[in-house]
Structure 1
């Protein structure tokens, strides 16, 4: 994990002091809310329906036990005993008092954390694959590039006041787990015929009221040119991006309006006309950063573990957990542990302070002190011996963290919705809870197979409903909440935007509607066919008939 240098530490601590003064002036009335708003947003502080919300940056989703224990401490001392992990691999505290915020930021700074650039019209937290550095299919760990981009984008003088917020995702795997095609910029690692590393650069993806899949503007960009090329993209966006209408200000709108070819040409012209000496990524700098992400000293272990296999054979619940929550590791004898924050009837992404401490302790004991946050609102222990899996499972089970539903119907993504968010038009959390209870039977979830259900409480799509196999969007209709359903979305390699099936449903009718969709799939799938493949083969008509034929 990257360690702060002197500049980083000074930068973060200075920001705490600045914000303490700004908050004090707001509390005394010297600053109005309109004057204070841009200052608090630069520090990740939102004013929500009931209280302030503080969004903590977790760069490329990486934590260690000290950081997670600090988040647990903050949850207990200054919030209501829990935090909410988000689809941006961040953590939000939803019940913060303004007078406590500077103390919270100071506490975060003690463990090299902050809330800078988690809001506002700037480059937000850089995200990546939650299995980075561990996945068996990975070409190379993308986190050093994520850190390079983080350092470049932090308080960049040209890009601190963009037309709108800007999000970048990076993956080093041929199997996209970072949703790079639905980001403003997505970076995907490739090797050429000579084994040299280069990056596919995708631009103009995004969700919200205008969901779009990104276009590729460079198939293979040499690694040392990466920052110079990113700057060319940002300059074109800064020059041509709309500032008169926030709904048309994202880079995806610019790419759509002028066309991918015109946009690509503008970027290449900007890239060619500026010298790259100051932005060339030097090999020694990459090596310096990469050293912080060096692989742990894995033991030489056999691929097959008698201890693990015996425990799996004797305990059906453990075997089910292994089936869904364990992923293949690059090193023999190790595994990736995915910890579900989606218990039956729970609030997706929420973790109590005690649960955070449990995960922090497990990471320290069993996973080289590494924890990851996934954009599916779960946690990950990336480097675990297979012989230790049963012991870890028992600890997780005692803390209600051993739900065996990763990637299944119960692993629902949901934004905070109208329970917290001032932008929301409908509730998300109760709908997620009711669907979770509807599909509580884990045996049935396994029978259904991989199924991504995402819920957003407004058109801003923080729940990523557009790229769910089954997406649910909460809207307001003449003062009443109703829910629109889309099918066929995906954020993976063959990314797609879901198709609206038809009229929306009242909240109490949504679980039954999802049940009908699932039953239609089960009745018409081919042997071994997963939901998304079945939908793409069948199209929307059978599902429309199941939902609306009797209406």
Structure 2
């Protein structure tokens, strides 16, 4: 993985010193709160519902064991002994003191980590496939180009104050696992006529106005990725709305302009810089790619794995095919029932770091599904990894299943949330606590967001849950049929919202309709696409309509 050079270290250390002085001036009354706010946001420091929240970047989801240990140490020393992995390759600390943040930043710098551009109207963290470099279906390893994009976007002077935040995702596999269709810029690496390049998608996003992105260029040679992204950003920076935060994202500009007219504006802008200094050279690519060489894989003989039911279920759900025979990628589930999805304790971080050192060349990945991946595990070592992961509470075999859900922190922490997310997640986990039943149900993505900002990606969940405020009470809107991947789609709202108490029953009824209607080996989405929304809607509201009718009869009497 990428290692800082002298310039990287100098930049990070100077940023730490700068923010340390800004905090000192704020405490001394030399900076008003309104003056301090943009400065702290540039360093990932928010003020949330109960306490500050500090967001730490994990660029394109890659960590080494020393970095994870440091995150665990920081969480124990400066917070409450745990952190929260988000859907954007970040770790959030929910309870740090503002005065301690410069010290946290200094400790992170020791292991080549930072919080730069994890908030604010700037170019945010670059995200990609958590199995990048090892996936069996990978066409091109996206990590070197993700790192080049990271270097280019960090401290970019022209794009530090965009109309709104800006997110880029890159995928190099046949099946998109980076949600590229719902990013401001989505990049699909591919080969065409012997040349490597990108399909460029623009104007996607979730949030208040969810929109699937559109292709702005079918094929762009890789050498031009920086200049083309710069052309897109320049058009957006000039024409994006700054008078209305709800209409300031590039997706709104693309919709208002039309994709053909927007594409032409980008091409016109690009013509001025197409072969300029920011055009990538093979030498620059090779410099960065040298950091992403394959580890020293060993030739593996076929092994007979234990046939114990619990182990085989875990292997089935929590391992992913590897491009090297005899190896597998292992997902450590941060979805233990009764625990907030994505949360991980300091002790667990230390345990995972040990697993990485012993079984996966000291490297880890963070997925946008809020789990941790050991990318390079020998199949012969799977029983040992399973036993140790179980002991750490990280072996729940629910990856891709109903309780392996995505969930934002919601109203328990976030100032923006309309409703709590974690109690809904825990209630659904409790209702579906039978693993045999979960396996019978099969693959279902359940995504929960506490507000329209959609940090829980509810729009693309097979079942999506959105917290809404109704007369100062918390209610939940349900969508069905959303999905990520190559056929990415937004879910459809089934009808009026539900109270928190109703949500486990609502999900249960949706599952029952699926189980009653599915054909053999048919997944939830296949059944939904075949029978449509109405059977689910009718079942979910059946009792509610009956109750309303009885109430009306009583009132009439």
Same fold (TM over 0.5): yes
Q: Whole-Å Cα distance in 1 between the matches of residues 108 and 226 of structure 2? A: 29
Q: Give the match for residue 284 of structure 2.
A: 285
Q: Give the match for residue 190 of structure 1.
A: 190
Alignment of 1:488-527 (within 5 A): 488-527=481-520
Q: Give the match for residue 326 of structure 2.
A: 333
Q: Whole-Å Cα distance in 1 between the matches of residues 273 and 65 of structure 2? A: 43
Q: Whole-Å Cα distance in 1 between the matches of residues 418 and 32 of structure 2? A: 27
**Normalized against structure 2, the TM-score is what?**
0.97
Q: Give the C-alpha shift of residue 493 in structure 1.
A: 1.0
- SS in structure 2 at match of 1:141: coil
- SS in structure 2 at match of 1:188: strand
Q: Whole-Å Cα distance in 1 between the matches of residues 423 and 247 of structure 2? A: 31
- SS in structure 2 at match of 1:125: coil
Alignment of 1:456-475 (within 5 A): 456-475=449-468
Q: Give the C-alpha shift of residue 118 in structure 1.
A: 0.1
Q: Whole-Å Cα distance in 1 between the matches of residues 256 and 14 of structure 2? A: 41
Alignment of 1:414-425 (within 5 A): 414-425=407-418
Task: Show CA shifts across 1:145-190 (max 9, x none).
Answer: 1100000111111111100000000111011110100000011111
Question: How many positions carry a matched residue from both structures?
Answer: 544
| Range 289-298 or range 274-283, more displaced | 274-283
Task: Show CA shifts across 1:204-249 (max 9, x none).
Answer: 0000000000001111110111111111100111111001101000
Q: Give the match for residue 208 of structure 2.
A: 209
Q: Whole-Å Cα distance in 2 between the matches of residues 525 and 279 of structure 1? A: 53
Q: Whole-Å Cα distance in 1 between the matches of residues 28 and 530 of structure 2? A: 62
- SS in structure 1 at match of 2:159: coil
Task: Show CA shifts across 1:415-474 (max 9, x none).
Answer: 111100011110000000111111111111111111000000011111100000000000
| Range 525-534 or range 387-396, more displaced | 525-534
Q: Give the C-alpha shift of residue 276 in structure 1.
A: 2.3
**Normalized against structure 1, the TM-score is what?**
0.98
Q: Give the match for residue 165 of structure 1.
A: 165
Q: Whole-Å Cα distance in 1 between the matches of residues 32 and 477 of structure 2? A: 39
- SS in structure 1 at match of 2:157: coil
**Structure 2 CA distance for partners of 1:389 and 1:461, relative to 1, 3 Å:** same
Considering only aligned residues, what root-mean-square deviation do their CA atoms show, in Å? 0.8
Q: Whole-Å Cα distance in 2 between the matches of residues 339 and 435 of structure 1? A: 20
- Answer whether contact 2:466 2:476 (CA < 8 A) is retained: yes
Q: Whole-Å Cα distance in 2 between the matches of residues 201 and 108 of structure 1? A: 34
Q: Whole-Å Cα distance in 1 between the matches of residues 530 and 215 of structure 2? A: 26
- SS in structure 1 at match of 2:395: coil
Q: Whole-Å Cα distance in 1 between the matches of residues 222 and 95 of structure 2? A: 42
Q: Whole-Å Cα distance in 2 between the matches of residues 224 and 492 of structure 1? A: 26
- SS in structure 2 at match of 1:108: helix
Q: Give the match for residue 47 of structure 2.
A: 47
Q: Whole-Å Cα distance in 2 between the matches of residues 330 and 440 of structure 1? A: 34
Q: Give the match for residue 118 of structure 2.
A: 118
Q: Give the match for residue 533 of structure 1.
A: 526
| Alignment counterpart, residue 323 of structure 1, candidates 294, 316, 326 | 316
Does residue 89 of structure 2 align to residue 89 of structure 1? yes
- SS in structure 1 at match of 2:271: helix
Q: Whole-Å Cα distance in 1 between the matches of residues 146 and 462 of structure 2? A: 28
- SS in structure 2 at match of 1:549: helix
Alignment of 1:341-352 (within 5 A): 341-352=334-345
- SS in structure 2 at match of 1:273: coil
Once superposed, which parts of structure 1, at least 4 consecutive aligned residues long, lie more than 3 Å away?
Answer: none
- Answer whether contact 2:140 2:190 (CA < 8 A) is retained: no
| Range 269-278 or range 97-106, more displaced | 269-278
- Answer whether contact 2:224 2:274 (CA < 8 A) is retained: no
Does residue 346 of structure 2 align to residue 361 of structure 1? no
Task: Show CA shifts across 1:460-503 (max 9, x none).
Answer: 11110000000000011001100000001012110000100001
Q: Give the match for residue 261 of structure 2.
A: 262
| Alignment counterpart, residue 439 of structure 2, candidates 446, 458, 472 | 446
Q: Give the match for residue 30 of structure 1.
A: 30
Q: Whole-Å Cα distance in 2 between the matches of residues 56 and 189 of structure 1? A: 27
Q: Give the match for residue 372 of structure 1.
A: 365
- SS in structure 2 at match of 1:109: helix
Task: Show CA shifts across 1:502-541 (max 9, x none).
Answer: 0100001101100000100111011111111211111100
Q: Give the C-alpha shift of residue 193 in structure 1.
A: 3.0
Q: Whole-Å Cα distance in 2 between the matches of residues 461 and 527 of structure 1? A: 34
- SS in structure 1 at match of 2:495: coil
Q: Give the match for residue 108 of structure 1.
A: 108
Alignment of 1:401-420 (within 5 A): 401-420=394-413
Q: Whole-Å Cα distance in 2 between the matches of residues 253 and 177 of structure 1? A: 24
Q: Whole-Å Cα distance in 2 between the matches of residues 258 and 359 of structure 1? A: 48
Q: Give the match for residue 7 of structure 1.
A: 7
| Alignment counterpart, residue 478 of structure 1, candidates 471, 489, 503 | 471
Q: Give the match for residue 389 of structure 1.
A: 382
Task: Show CA shifts across 1:303-351 (max 9, x none).
Answer: x312xx2x1x1x2111110010011000000000001000112110000
Q: Whole-Å Cα distance in 1 between the matches of residues 267 and 442 of structure 2? A: 44
Q: Give the match for residue 553 of structure 2.
A: none
Q: Give the C-alpha shift of residue 97 in structure 1.
A: 0.1
Q: Give the C-alpha shift of residue 275 in structure 1.
A: 4.9
Task: Show CA shifts across 1:130-158 (max 9, x none).
Answer: 00111111012111111000001111111
Q: Give the C-alpha shift of residue 277 in structure 1.
A: 2.4
